[in-house]
Structure 1
Amino acid sequence: MASLLPTAMRMGRLQKDCADALPAMFANCDVLSFEEGALVLAVPTSAVAAKLKQQLPKLQGALQQRGWQINNIKLKVQVIRAIAPVVHTRQLDFPATAVQAFEALGEALPDTAQNARLIAAIKAMAARRR
Protein backbone atom coordinates (compact mmCIF):
# COMPACT_ATOMS: atom_id res chain seq x y z
CA MET A 1 0.00 0.00 0.00
CA ALA A 2 2.82 2.41 0.80
CA SER A 3 4.18 2.09 -2.73
CA LEU A 4 0.79 3.17 -4.16
CA LEU A 5 0.59 6.36 -2.12
CA PRO A 6 2.95 8.47 -4.29
CA THR A 7 1.11 7.43 -7.45
CA ALA A 8 -2.27 8.16 -5.88
CA MET A 9 -1.06 11.57 -4.69
CA ARG A 10 0.31 12.36 -8.16
CA MET A 11 -2.99 11.39 -9.82
CA GLY A 12 -4.87 13.49 -7.28
CA ARG A 13 -2.71 16.53 -8.06
CA LEU A 14 -3.21 15.98 -11.79
CA GLN A 15 -7.00 15.69 -11.27
CA LYS A 16 -6.97 18.97 -9.33
CA ASP A 17 -4.84 20.73 -11.92
CA CYS A 18 -7.19 19.59 -14.71
CA ALA A 19 -10.20 20.82 -12.74
CA ASP A 20 -8.48 24.15 -12.10
CA ALA A 21 -7.69 24.55 -15.81
CA LEU A 22 -11.25 23.80 -16.97
CA PRO A 23 -13.52 24.15 -13.93
CA ALA A 24 -16.89 24.06 -15.71
CA MET A 25 -16.02 21.27 -18.14
CA PHE A 26 -14.07 19.00 -15.79
CA ALA A 27 -16.69 18.64 -13.05
CA ASN A 28 -17.81 15.18 -14.20
CA CYS A 29 -14.50 13.99 -15.64
CA ASP A 30 -11.75 11.87 -14.10
CA VAL A 31 -8.11 11.17 -14.82
CA LEU A 32 -7.83 7.48 -15.77
CA SER A 33 -4.11 7.26 -16.41
CA PHE A 34 -0.98 9.26 -17.11
CA GLU A 35 1.97 7.35 -18.55
CA GLU A 36 4.85 8.45 -20.78
CA GLY A 37 3.29 11.82 -21.56
CA ALA A 38 -0.11 10.36 -22.50
CA LEU A 39 -3.05 11.52 -20.39
CA VAL A 40 -6.30 9.52 -20.55
CA LEU A 41 -9.45 11.19 -19.23
CA ALA A 42 -12.83 9.60 -18.49
CA VAL A 43 -15.86 11.60 -19.61
CA PRO A 44 -19.51 10.76 -18.81
CA THR A 45 -21.03 11.23 -22.27
CA SER A 46 -20.03 11.65 -25.88
CA ALA A 47 -21.48 15.18 -25.80
CA VAL A 48 -19.11 16.15 -22.99
CA ALA A 49 -16.28 14.48 -24.92
CA ALA A 50 -17.05 16.58 -28.00
CA LYS A 51 -17.06 19.81 -25.97
CA LEU A 52 -13.94 18.86 -24.03
CA LYS A 53 -12.13 17.90 -27.24
CA GLN A 54 -12.36 21.54 -28.32
CA GLN A 55 -10.69 22.61 -25.06
CA LEU A 56 -7.82 20.07 -25.14
CA PRO A 57 -5.19 22.54 -26.41
CA LYS A 58 -6.07 24.93 -23.58
CA LEU A 59 -5.96 22.07 -21.03
CA GLN A 60 -2.65 20.78 -22.37
CA GLY A 61 -1.11 24.26 -22.25
CA ALA A 62 -2.34 24.90 -18.72
CA LEU A 63 -0.99 21.55 -17.51
CA GLN A 64 2.37 22.14 -19.19
CA GLN A 65 2.61 25.51 -17.42
CA ARG A 66 2.11 23.66 -14.12
CA GLY A 67 4.99 21.32 -14.93
CA TRP A 68 3.20 18.29 -16.37
CA GLN A 69 4.93 16.82 -19.44
CA ILE A 70 1.83 16.05 -21.51
CA ASN A 71 2.24 15.20 -25.19
CA ASN A 72 -1.13 13.60 -25.89
CA ILE A 73 -4.61 13.64 -24.32
CA LYS A 74 -7.16 10.91 -25.03
CA LEU A 75 -10.80 10.83 -23.97
CA LYS A 76 -12.75 7.71 -23.04
CA VAL A 77 -16.51 7.76 -22.57
CA GLN A 78 -17.40 6.07 -19.27
CA VAL A 79 -21.18 5.68 -19.29
CA ILE A 80 -21.34 4.29 -15.75
CA ARG A 81 -20.41 7.64 -14.22
CA ALA A 82 -23.23 9.40 -16.11
CA ILE A 83 -25.96 7.36 -14.43
CA ALA A 84 -27.66 9.37 -11.70
CA PRO A 85 -28.15 7.72 -8.33
CA VAL A 86 -31.58 6.25 -7.67
CA VAL A 87 -33.71 8.48 -5.48
CA HIS A 88 -36.74 6.89 -3.89
CA THR A 89 -39.50 9.42 -3.37
CA ARG A 90 -42.31 7.01 -2.61
CA GLN A 91 -43.29 6.72 1.03
CA LEU A 92 -43.39 3.24 2.53
CA ASP A 93 -46.78 1.90 3.56
CA PHE A 94 -46.74 0.27 6.98
CA PRO A 95 -49.48 -2.12 8.10
CA ALA A 96 -51.54 -0.98 11.08
CA THR A 97 -49.75 -3.47 13.35
CA ALA A 98 -46.38 -1.92 12.48
CA VAL A 99 -47.65 1.58 13.26
CA GLN A 100 -49.00 0.31 16.60
CA ALA A 101 -45.65 -1.36 17.33
CA PHE A 102 -43.80 1.92 16.70
CA GLU A 103 -46.24 3.78 18.95
CA ALA A 104 -45.68 1.18 21.67
CA LEU A 105 -41.92 1.45 21.23
CA GLY A 106 -42.12 5.23 21.60
CA GLU A 107 -43.99 4.79 24.87
CA ALA A 108 -41.78 1.96 26.16
CA LEU A 109 -38.39 3.61 25.74
CA PRO A 110 -36.98 5.21 28.89
CA ASP A 111 -37.53 8.97 28.88
CA THR A 112 -33.90 10.10 29.09
CA ALA A 113 -31.96 12.92 27.45
CA GLN A 114 -30.23 10.38 25.20
CA ASN A 115 -33.54 8.94 23.99
CA ALA A 116 -35.46 12.21 23.61
CA ARG A 117 -34.73 12.71 19.90
CA LEU A 118 -35.29 9.02 19.11
CA ILE A 119 -38.64 8.99 20.92
CA ALA A 120 -39.74 12.17 19.15
CA ALA A 121 -38.77 10.71 15.75
CA ILE A 122 -40.60 7.43 16.40
CA LYS A 123 -43.75 9.21 17.57
CA ALA A 124 -43.66 11.61 14.60
CA MET A 125 -43.25 8.72 12.17
CA ALA A 126 -46.12 6.80 13.74
CA ALA A 127 -48.32 9.92 13.65
CA ARG A 128 -47.60 10.42 9.92
CA ARG A 129 -48.46 6.81 9.17
CA ARG A 130 -51.85 6.90 10.90
Structure 2
Amino acid sequence: MSRFTSFSRPFNPRRPQPVSELLGRTDEFAALRAGVEQIAALERDLKTMLPDYLATSVEPGFIKDGVLALFAAHNALAARLRHLEPRLLADLQQRGWAVNALKIRVRPQSVKEPTPLKQARMTEVGAAALQALSESLEASPLQEALARMAKRHLRKQG
Protein backbone atom coordinates (compact mmCIF):
# COMPACT_ATOMS: atom_id res chain seq x y z
CA MET A 1 0.00 0.00 0.00
CA SER A 2 1.43 3.35 -1.02
CA ARG A 3 1.38 6.25 1.41
CA PHE A 4 1.07 8.65 -1.53
CA THR A 5 -2.29 9.43 -3.09
CA SER A 6 -2.74 8.73 -6.77
CA PHE A 7 -2.45 12.42 -7.70
CA SER A 8 0.94 13.03 -6.12
CA ARG A 9 4.48 12.36 -7.22
CA PRO A 10 7.06 10.61 -5.04
CA PHE A 11 9.08 12.91 -2.82
CA ASN A 12 12.48 13.91 -4.17
CA PRO A 13 14.51 15.72 -1.47
CA ARG A 14 16.93 17.14 -4.02
CA ARG A 15 14.27 19.01 -5.98
CA PRO A 16 12.75 22.15 -4.44
CA GLN A 17 8.97 21.90 -4.34
CA PRO A 18 6.27 24.50 -3.96
CA VAL A 19 4.40 24.43 -0.67
CA SER A 20 1.11 23.98 -2.54
CA GLU A 21 2.43 20.74 -4.05
CA LEU A 22 3.59 19.47 -0.66
CA LEU A 23 0.26 20.27 0.97
CA GLY A 24 -1.55 18.26 -1.73
CA ARG A 25 0.61 15.17 -1.20
CA THR A 26 -1.55 13.35 1.38
CA ASP A 27 -5.17 13.53 2.51
CA GLU A 28 -4.14 15.03 5.86
CA PHE A 29 -2.16 17.75 4.17
CA ALA A 30 -5.03 18.33 1.71
CA ALA A 31 -7.27 19.25 4.65
CA LEU A 32 -4.60 21.62 5.94
CA ARG A 33 -4.29 23.13 2.48
CA ALA A 34 -8.04 23.76 2.35
CA GLY A 35 -7.84 25.59 5.68
CA VAL A 36 -4.87 27.67 4.53
CA GLU A 37 -6.65 28.58 1.29
CA GLN A 38 -9.78 29.55 3.25
CA ILE A 39 -7.78 31.84 5.54
CA ALA A 40 -6.00 33.40 2.53
CA ALA A 41 -9.31 34.07 0.75
CA LEU A 42 -10.81 35.50 3.93
CA GLU A 43 -7.75 37.73 4.40
CA ARG A 44 -8.10 39.03 0.82
CA ASP A 45 -11.78 39.81 1.37
CA LEU A 46 -11.09 41.57 4.67
CA LYS A 47 -8.41 43.74 3.05
CA THR A 48 -10.93 44.98 0.50
CA MET A 49 -13.67 45.61 3.12
CA LEU A 50 -11.61 47.30 5.84
CA PRO A 51 -10.01 50.76 5.76
CA ASP A 52 -6.27 50.70 5.05
CA TYR A 53 -5.22 51.44 8.63
CA LEU A 54 -7.22 48.41 9.84
CA ALA A 55 -6.52 46.05 6.94
CA THR A 56 -2.80 45.92 7.68
CA SER A 57 -3.30 45.31 11.41
CA VAL A 58 -6.14 42.75 11.46
CA GLU A 59 -5.64 39.03 10.93
CA PRO A 60 -8.45 36.50 10.48
CA GLY A 61 -8.60 33.28 12.47
CA PHE A 62 -10.62 30.18 11.69
CA ILE A 63 -14.40 30.07 11.40
CA LYS A 64 -15.72 27.74 14.11
CA ASP A 65 -19.45 27.14 14.59
CA GLY A 66 -20.26 30.24 12.54
CA VAL A 67 -18.01 32.50 14.63
CA LEU A 68 -15.05 34.18 12.94
CA ALA A 69 -12.16 35.22 15.18
CA LEU A 70 -10.46 38.46 14.16
CA PHE A 71 -7.18 39.47 15.76
CA ALA A 72 -6.31 43.16 16.06
CA ALA A 73 -2.80 44.47 16.72
CA HIS A 74 -3.84 46.54 19.77
CA ASN A 75 -6.82 47.66 21.85
CA ALA A 76 -7.57 50.85 19.91
CA LEU A 77 -7.85 48.92 16.63
CA ALA A 78 -10.00 46.27 18.32
CA ALA A 79 -12.36 48.99 19.56
CA ARG A 80 -12.60 50.50 16.08
CA LEU A 81 -13.22 47.03 14.64
CA ARG A 82 -16.08 46.51 17.12
CA HIS A 83 -17.71 49.69 15.78
CA LEU A 84 -17.52 48.27 12.25
CA GLU A 85 -18.68 44.79 13.32
CA PRO A 86 -22.33 44.94 12.09
CA ARG A 87 -21.38 46.24 8.64
CA LEU A 88 -18.41 43.88 8.39
CA LEU A 89 -20.55 40.88 9.33
CA ALA A 90 -23.17 41.80 6.72
CA ASP A 91 -20.46 42.26 4.06
CA LEU A 92 -18.92 38.87 4.86
CA GLN A 93 -22.31 37.16 4.67
CA GLN A 94 -23.04 38.90 1.37
CA ARG A 95 -19.76 37.52 -0.02
CA GLY A 96 -20.85 34.00 0.90
CA TRP A 97 -18.95 33.42 4.15
CA ALA A 98 -20.83 31.22 6.64
CA VAL A 99 -20.37 33.63 9.53
CA ASN A 100 -23.01 34.47 12.14
CA ALA A 101 -20.85 36.41 14.58
CA LEU A 102 -17.41 37.94 15.00
CA LYS A 103 -15.12 37.46 17.98
CA ILE A 104 -12.63 40.30 18.15
CA ARG A 105 -9.46 39.66 20.09
CA VAL A 106 -6.23 41.54 20.65
CA ARG A 107 -3.06 39.79 19.54
CA PRO A 108 -0.11 42.16 19.88
CA GLN A 109 2.28 41.97 16.98
CA SER A 110 5.90 41.36 17.80
CA VAL A 111 7.94 44.50 18.22
CA LYS A 112 10.54 44.89 15.54
CA GLU A 113 14.04 45.46 16.81
CA PRO A 114 15.18 49.02 16.18
CA THR A 115 17.94 49.42 13.66
CA PRO A 116 21.28 49.60 15.43
CA LEU A 117 22.97 52.96 15.61
CA LYS A 118 25.69 53.41 13.07
CA GLN A 119 29.06 52.87 14.67
CA ALA A 120 31.55 54.63 12.43
CA ARG A 121 35.11 53.42 12.71
CA MET A 122 38.10 55.51 11.82
CA THR A 123 41.67 54.40 11.53
CA GLU A 124 44.33 55.87 13.78
CA VAL A 125 45.87 57.62 10.78
CA GLY A 126 42.48 59.20 9.87
CA ALA A 127 41.91 60.37 13.45
CA ALA A 128 45.42 61.86 13.59
CA ALA A 129 44.79 63.66 10.28
CA LEU A 130 41.56 65.13 11.68
CA GLN A 131 43.44 66.23 14.79
CA ALA A 132 46.13 67.90 12.68
CA LEU A 133 43.49 69.62 10.52
CA SER A 134 41.63 70.92 13.56
CA GLU A 135 44.88 72.33 14.98
CA SER A 136 45.65 74.13 11.71
CA LEU A 137 42.29 75.96 11.63
CA GLU A 138 41.37 79.16 13.42
CA ALA A 139 38.89 78.92 16.27
CA SER A 140 35.44 78.25 14.77
CA PRO A 141 32.55 75.81 15.14
CA LEU A 142 34.13 73.66 12.40
CA GLN A 143 37.48 73.57 14.22
CA GLU A 144 35.75 72.56 17.49
CA ALA A 145 33.69 69.82 15.76
CA LEU A 146 36.79 68.35 14.08
CA ALA A 147 38.72 68.40 17.36
CA ARG A 148 35.88 66.58 19.17
CA MET A 149 35.59 63.99 16.40
CA ALA A 150 39.35 63.35 16.36
CA LYS A 151 39.44 63.09 20.15
CA ARG A 152 36.51 60.64 20.18
CA HIS A 153 38.10 58.36 17.58
CA LEU A 154 41.55 58.50 19.14
CA ARG A 155 40.04 57.59 22.52
CA LYS A 156 38.25 54.52 21.04
CA GLN A 157 41.51 53.16 19.72
CA GLY A 158 43.57 53.87 22.78
Q: Which has the larger radius of gyration?
A: 2
Ranges in structure 2 where 5+ consecutive residues have no aligned partner = 1-22, 25-29, 127-158
Residue 86 (structure 1) aligns with: 113
> Over residues 77-115 of structure 1, what are the superposed CA-to-partner deviations in whole Å (9 max), with x where a residue is unaligned?
112x163x2232511243638x9xxxxxxxxxxxxxxxx
Taking the TM superposition and a 5 Å limit, the aligned residue runs for 1:32-71 are 32-71=61-100
The structure showing larger relative contact order (alpha-carbon pairs under 8 Å, at least 6 residues apart) is 1
Residue 14 (structure 2) aligns with: none
**Amino acid in the other structure paired with 2:46:** C
**Amino acid in the other structure paired with 1:91:** K
Residue 118 (structure 1) aligns with: none
Is 2:93 the partner of 1:74?
no
SS in 2 for 1:55: helix
Residue 28 (structure 1) aligns with: 57
Residue 11 (structure 1) aligns with: 39
1: distance between equivalents of 2:47 and 2:110?
18
Post-superposition offset of 1:7: 1.2
- TM-score between both structures, scaled by the size of structure 1: 0.65
Post-superposition offset of 1:5: 1.5
| Length, aligned pairs only | 96
Residue 148 (structure 2) aligns with: none
| RMSD over aligned Cα atoms | 2.1
Post-superposition offset of 1:36: 2.1
Q: Is the 8 A contact 1:45 1:82 kept in 2?
A: no
- TM-score between both structures, scaled by the size of structure 2: 0.55
2: distance between equivalents of 1:9 and 1:23?
23
